[in-house]
A and B are shown apart, each in its own frame.
Chain A
Amino acid sequence: MKKGLIYAMVCLVLITVLITGLVAGCGTKTANPGVRSEIDTSTIYLDGSDPLTMDPALTGDASSAFYIEEVFGGLLTLVLVPKDVAKEKEGGIRYIDSETLMQMPKNWQQWISKWIVQGEKADAKVAMAPDLCEEIPEPIYNPDGTVSYVFKIRNNAKFHDGREVTAYDFQYSIDRACDSHLRPIPSTTAELYLSDIIEAEDMIRGRIENRVYREKDINEPFDITKVIGDIPGIEVLDKKTLKITIDAPKPYFLWKLTYPTAFVVDKLQVEADIQKYNWTRRPNGTGPFKLTSWERRQKIVLERNKDYHLGMPKTERFIVNLAGGGSPLMNFEENEVYITGIGKTTVGKVRGPEYSSYDPEVYDAELAKLYIETPSVDVYYIGFNSRMKPFDDMKVRQAFAMAIDKEKLAHEYLMDLVLPAHGILPPGVAGYRPDFKGLEFNPDKARQLLKESKYGGPEGLGRLILHVSGKGPSDKLGEKLTWEWKQNLGVEIEIEQTDFGTYIEDLKKGKYALFEMGWIADYPDAEDFLDLKFHGDRSVANNEVRYNNPEVNKLLEMARIESNPEKRVQLYQQAEKIIVEEAPWLPLFHGKNNAVIKPFIKGYYSPPMVIPILRFVEIVK
């Protein structure tokens, strides 16, 4: 009996090892991207993550914005067009008119084919377009120095439930976004996108009471024209005409109306259950898609809005898989999702002989044909909170910034899936300088700076924690960085990982001294990066590093009202130089969109920032 038992145990161990090996080895299937006859052309499956919120007034992150841009709409929107199709307004703002916008579904496919061929040199530009308004208005310069824009709302603009969109709805929505008593929480993005409107800032800071709704309104018959607007800068001229007045000539202001904070929401729906705040699960928006189902961490279903005023979307429905886990690439190969991302662990499959990392055993030529890399206008960075020790000393921040080899990080560790960042502005924003040097990698100088700082060296820095977002014990990038800091500076740093939702909340309360973060462009303008994140007046929710330099503030304020595009770019570049030198951030890299797309998917092109794109995508067998 004993003898048999031993043999049984040995066999058990061997079998376990065998099974592990088999599972691991059989993990790869040869890619078979061929068209299968069971593909249902009415539905497209994608990968995605849960939005943090579906309330446009509260949206501040890219995962929420992806859905918000498809389900909701505003006066203006952003589109991707060839450079020669876009026109230019004063201040260098690119835009297209309504006619070009309506022609887009026809022209889209041929534009994308050209861009895919052009690869990195694709001349795709982000431009402004009239969404719920008829045309982008020209600014009216008032004698008192303010500037007004008069928007005519489209006649066929409707909410998903058929109710027509009026200027009153916009008055309601923008007042609501600025409400300092907004439930469930006041918007932290209102100050970024709406504060240029006359007295909107006062409402945001609580100096003006928002009377937009009262409890008793709910029982009276709904009449949107009875809405009370408290922001003088928003005026309803008549049911379909809205006038917005800003405090000075600021050419970039119209970009801000393309961002969710300025989108329109349905007062009737929002106030039907103010206490429960459930309306965001089935929002009555104006966008090309309706959110018909949202099972957290499972899936989101977007059904097309047949009456969408810019043209019915080409595909009936999109189902976004939120569950994650497993292997996205395997799901892709089994046709469970039709578009998915390529990361560090899978990039070997699509990098062909022209890359130095080419590995013929891993390379999958069929899959590589489906791979598309497009630029993303963003920057990933490490933030140093200048109000928390030890980063209140600039020398410490500079030391940390100079102790990381960004070129090696981008080329070797991240395998050229990203671009090393030496400044804040990414390519795709006017003002980006490819030869900008910033703080160069110099570990000796870094150690020197640390010694010269008021903490005297690595021992005096106290307990350091690098905060990162994600699940589980480790963040790969964080481990790499803490290792480099240990090697090059002799500093011991712990890593603490928190799930994204909680992480953002804590970050915006200013709790983190050292953290990892990213910022993707809302619109293609340097203001979106430098002014929104570094101006001293910004609240900690947006300027998480508490940076406040009067010289930089002055440059940013001058740039706000500078109408000459070249001069404006110069002002931003001057500000960027100072900011990078004082190192409130350590810019690491600019990301890219790396995706594989099924050949039967037509009309998908990963945009450089979050803009509505799904209405152009369809399955063509």
Chain B
Amino acid sequence: MIGRLFREIFHRRLAKISLAMILFLFLMAGLGAVFAPYDYNKQEVGPNFQGPSWEHLCGTDDYGRDMFSRILGATGTTAMVSILYIVFGGLIITVLLGIISGYYGGWIDTLIMRTGEILYSIPTLYLVLLIAATLRPGYNNFIYETLGWQWLAQTGFADLVLVFGAISLFAWVVGAKTLRARVLQIRELGYIEAAKALGASDFRIMFHHILPNLLGLIILSITSTMGFVIGTEIALSFLGFGIRPPHPSFGVMFFEMQSIDLISAHPYLLIFPGIVVVLWILSFSLLRISATDIAESRKG
């Protein structure tokens, strides 16, 4: 099944391009963590408000911080949130809930789906905001005092976990529904019954027989929500409830650029981060388009 997936991707130009873009961005993030020219938070590495130059590829901000390093750092944050979401929110939560509710049906199905619908009907950004805002102090105290993991909070990782955790609570709904629908179809197929008759456990049936058929849909559901995930992280950080300074995030950078007077005097402060954010969201959107294509072509 996986082999077929790769072949599908290989034949589609859009899929290749979007995957390449995503890979490039993740590479930027990873290399940035190691090879950034300056510490993203180090102030006064150059004169304030310099435009782009060979020394500072994207200029400096009003604290004298190198914008290129800050963009690399912020890309890293977005990459982290993306990975965390893909693994936990996308693969684990969405897939698990979708398969379980589709396979078992009955009250488990009703419970999961109805809960999802309730959560989904509330404007998601507000709810995520509410959760992030109210949980944060307690959560921070927990990390610091109870667990004693200061380094976690200090590197900003704790904030990241809070952000993607809050987002994951809601982003699974649509994906789980789609997967569930497909699972309902597959469940009735002949070979599933055969496997049951041969004594395969539920677990084996779900993950060995059903799951491989869902790969296309899974990729589709993940890429569909990535735009929302990235956008929400930026929005949360912009409002002060996500990643907080000095840790880099595009939301924080956009907040600092808020004044129109600032932008009109130094447009490069907005253009470069803006381009990178557009690339992030665009690449996942393109991937979603080709994923739709792939998923649909395999339905038959």
* A interface residues, how many (CB within 8 angstroms): 40
Q: Are B271 and A479 in contact (CB under 8 A)?
A: no
A483 within 8 A of B: yes
B-facing mask of A72-88, CB < 8 A → 1, else 0? 00000000000000000
A9 within 8 A of B: yes
Range, interface on chain B: 35 or more
B63 within 8 A of A: yes
Most buried by A among B245, B255, B274: B245
Report the Cα distance A482→B41, complex, angstroms.
Answer: 11
Q: Are A345 and B261 in contact (CB under 8 A)?
A: yes
Which residues of chain B are within 8 angstroms of A13 by Cβ–Cβ distance?
Answer: 275, 278-279, 282
Q: Assess A17 versus B245: contact at CB under 8 Å? Given A344-B62, A362-B265, A472-B239.
A: no
A492 within 8 A of B: yes
Which residues of chain A are within 8 angstroms of B260 by Cβ–Cβ distance?
Answer: 27, 326-327, 330
Q: Are A2 and B246 in contact (CB under 8 A)?
A: no
Within 8 A of B (CB), among A3-51: 5-6, 9, 12-13, 16-17, 20-21, 23-28
Report the Cα distance A12→B264, complex, angstroms.
Answer: 23
Within 8 A of A (CB), among B230-262: 237-246, 251-252, 255-256, 258-262
B115 within 8 A of A: no
Which residues of chain A are within 8 angstroms of B282 by Cβ–Cβ distance?
Answer: 9, 12-13
Q: Assess A473 versus B242: contact at CB under 8 Å? Given A6-B14, A6-B17.
A: yes
A-facing mask of B2-22, CB < 8 A → 1, else 0? 000000000011100100000
B-facing mask of A324-356, CB < 8 A → 1, else 0? 001101100000000000001110100000000
Which residues of chain B are within 8 angstroms of A24 by Cβ–Cβ distance?
Answer: 263-264, 267, 270-271
Partner of A482, one of B241, B246, B261, B289: B246
Q: Assess A483 versus B14: contact at CB under 8 Å? Given A20-B274, A27-B261, A495-B245.
A: no
Q: Are B63 and A495 in contact (CB under 8 A)?
A: no
Interface SS of chain B? helix
B110 within 8 A of A: no
Report the Cα distance A473→B257, complex, angstroms.
Answer: 12
Within 8 A of A (CB), among B48-89: 62-63
Report the Cα distance A16→B281, complex, angstroms.
Answer: 13
Report the Cα distance A5→B13, complex, angstroms.
Answer: 10
Partner of B244, one of A329, A483, A495: A495
B178 within 8 A of A: no
A433 within 8 A of B: no
Report the Cα distance A473→B150, complex, angstroms.
Answer: 20
A549 within 8 A of B: no
Q: Assess A17 versus B261: contact at CB under 8 Å? Given A2-B13, A479-B63, A483-B63.
A: no
Partner of B41, one of A17, A21, A483: A483
- The chain B residue with its CB closest to the CB of A347 is B261
Report the Cα distance A479→B65, complex, angstroms.
Answer: 12
Which 3 residue pairs across A and B have the least CB separation, nearest first?
Answer: A27-B264, A24-B267, A327-B260
Residue contacts A-B, CB under 8 angstroms, 17 given: A2-B12, A20-B270, A24-B263, A27-B261, A27-B263, A27-B264, A326-B260, A327-B261, A330-B261, A345-B259, A472-B238, A473-B238, A473-B239, A473-B251, A474-B255, A480-B63, A482-B246
B residues touching A (Cβ–Cβ < 8 Å)?
12-14, 17, 41, 43, 62-63, 144, 150, 153-154, 237-246, 251-252, 255-256, 258-265, 267, 270-271, 274-275, 278-279, 282, 286, 289
| Known A463-B144, A472-B258; 18 more pairs at CB < 8 Å | A2-B12, A2-B14, A5-B289, A17-B271, A17-B274, A20-B267, A26-B264, A327-B259, A344-B62, A348-B265, A463-B153, A473-B243, A473-B252, A474-B245, A474-B256, A476-B63, A476-B256, A483-B41
A residues touching B (Cβ–Cβ < 8 Å)?
2, 5-6, 9, 12-13, 16-17, 20-21, 23-28, 326-327, 329-330, 344-346, 348, 362, 463, 471-474, 476, 479-480, 482-483, 492, 494-497
